[in-house]
Amino acid sequence: MSTIPEFEQFELTPEPMSEPKSGVRTALVIGGGIAGPVVATALHRVGIRATVCETRPAPHDGIGGSLALAPNGMAALGLIGVDDAVRALATPARRTIMSIDSRTQELPTLRDVEPLQIVGRGDLHRVLRERALAAGVRFEYGKKLLSVSDRPGGVTARFADGAEAGADILIGADGIHSTVRKLIDPEAPSADYTGLLGLQGYVEPGSDLDFEPDVMTFAFGRNAYYLYWKQADGRLTWGANLPSKKYLSLKEAQAIPAQDWLRRLRETYAPDTPGRLLAERTSADNLDVVGGIHIMPPVPRWYRGRMVLVGDAVHAPSNSTGQGASLAIESALQLARCLRDRPDAESAFAAYEHLRRERVERITKRGARTNSAKTPGPVARKLMHLTMPLFFRLMNFDKVMGWEQRYRIDWDAPVA
């Protein structure tokens, strides 16, 4: 088995930075998606040198799709100085609308927080990677983690290409199908399938199809839920959630020809406005296939020894919450704070879990409720149609969403 010499060098010569109280000086971060680069950047701020090991062969800035960052996620990005870079690339959703059949209802918003910021996933990856590189983080591509063993005072990671690397701790930021989760606890649950398949499409606006800028609409179509908005570049973007008993992984879904997906989208959204036009006008080149959408049940063990989880690997609340990436960013920062202030790695991991578990599980529960409401039967649908305006008039939006979106991390406060 070969060893990557640079990894050993980085392990032996940690940069002289501030001294974290945990005594941890080096970290291997598995996964270069969203949580990985953020935790690595935050670790550098507290004096821990991090290397991000990503299974993909190269940076995945070309990855399709968009996601909405909530105000709490944007505030957390501000702590590593990338919020403005993200805002500059994003489309704000200043108003959100729910529509069912022909009836629409504007949703309440919190007045004291910024709007959702919708950003291309590839753009977000690029900004986070560039920020991490500027902080001194190293990225290694084509590094698929297979196993980890303990060694005195640290861990040794083994990768599919035969390489090995060592560090004081290992952080699993390796997403919903996390390998590190199972290495921490072989009995750990796997992600649940929500019963929905995800697709995203883009179309050019036309005289008979255009949307107001800065508005995101959540639409309960007759056969399936979808959402749509106008991007800053003028393109109309929509996301489809197709109910399907059959689960398809990303790979399986992408193996199905785009024309077959387009046929299915056109059949599903034929009764809906503007769903029908969106489906008809989306071309194979402008379709991103996501496959089965997941939600993560509570994970009993967030850490073991010198390994710990962050992001979707430990708390994926499903796309219905619009919080997955924001929670991943928050957790990444809180983990770094704990490693800065607690006396050793294990007590830092315990403090981190204590700070995070309740919040992420509560938001995941909301996601599960929303997922089941996305496919109402005919009776529930009729009821929704009738009661929607009253429901939103009576709903205490501030109470339901305020605690989620106003969450702020006090970076300078010591972790007790």
Ligand X SMILES: Cc1cc2nc3c(=O)[nH]c(=O)nc-3n(C[C@H](O)[C@H](O)[C@H](O)COP(=O)(O)OP(=O)(O)OC[C@H]3O[C@@H](n4cnc5c(N)ncnc54)[C@H](O)[C@@H]3O)c2cc1C
Residue numbers at the binding site for ligand X (CB under 6 A)? 30-36, 53-56, 67-68, 143-145, 173-175, 179, 198, 290, 293, 311-313, 316, 319, 322-326, 328
Rounded to the nearest whole angstrom, what is the least distance from the CB of residue 129 to ligand X in the complex?
A: 11
Q: Is the CB of 51 or the CB of 341 nearer to ligand X?
A: 51
Q: Is the CB of 32 or the CB of 274 nearer to ligand X?
A: 32
Q: Is the CB of 17 or the CB of 133 nearer to ligand X?
A: 133
Strand partners, 138: 51
Could you give the CA distance from residue 100 to residue 98 in angstroms, rounded to a whole number?
7
Rounded to the nearest whole angstrom, what is the least distance from the CB of residue 203 to ligand X in the complex?
A: 18
Residue 373 half-sphere exposure, CB side, CA atoms within 13 Å?
A: 18
Contact predicate 120/93, CB 8 Å: no
- Dmax over Cα atoms in the chain, in whole Å? 68
Contact predicate 90/232, CB 8 Å: yes
- In order, the DSSP letters of 263-305 are HHHHHHTTTSTTHHHHHHH--GGGEEEEEEEEEPPPPS-SEET
Rounded to the nearest whole angstrom, what is the least distance from the CB of residue 389 to ligand X in the complex?
A: 26
Contact predicate 375/194, CB 8 Å: no
Residue nearest to ligand X (CB): 33
| Residue 320 neighbours by CB under 8 Å, 6+ apart | 194, 367, 370, 371, 374
Q: Is the CB of 21 or the CB of 339 nearer to ligand X?
A: 339
Q: Is the CB of 28 or the CB of 100 nearer to ligand X?
A: 28
Contact predicate 363/327, CB 8 Å: yes
DSSP state of 311: G
Rounded to the nearest whole angstrom, what is the least distance from the CB of residue 416 to ligand X in the complex?
A: 26
Backbone phi, psi, residue 323, to 5°: -125, -5
Q: Is the CB of 366 or the CB of 385 nearer to ligand X?
A: 366
Q: Is the CB of 145 or the CB of 335 nearer to ligand X?
A: 145
Rounded to the nearest whole angstrom, what is the least distance from the CB of residue 316 to ligand X in the complex?
A: 6
- The residue to which tokens 């050993």 are assigned: 8
Q: Is the CB of 274 or the CB of 292 nearer to ligand X?
A: 292
CA atoms 193, 36, 352, 345: torsion sign: positive
Rounded to the nearest whole angstrom, what is the least distance from the CB of residue 392 to ligand X in the complex?
A: 21
Q: Is the CB of 33 or the CB of 115 nearer to ligand X?
A: 33
Rounded to the nearest whole angstrom, what is the least distance from the CB of residue 94 to ligand X in the complex?
A: 16
Rounded to the nearest whole angstrom, what is the least distance from the CB of residue 208 to ligand X in the complex?
A: 27
β-pair type (95-100, 215-220): parallel
Rounded to the nearest whole angstrom, what is the least distance from the CB of residue 66 to ligand X in the complex?
A: 7
What six digits make up the tokens of 19? Answer: 């001294």
Could you give the CA distance from residue 261 to residue 253 in angstroms, rounded to a whole number?
9
Rounded to the nearest whole angstrom, what is the least distance from the CB of residue 342 to ligand X in the complex?
A: 23
Q: Which residues of 357-392 are buried (b: 16+ CB within 10 A; e: fewer)?
A: eebbeebbebbbebbeebbbeeeeeeebeeebeeee
Distance of CA 8 to the CA centre of its chain: 31
Q: Is the CB of 146 or the CB of 386 nearer to ligand X?
A: 146
Could you give the CA distance from residue 152 to residue 392 in angstroms, rounded to a whole number?
57
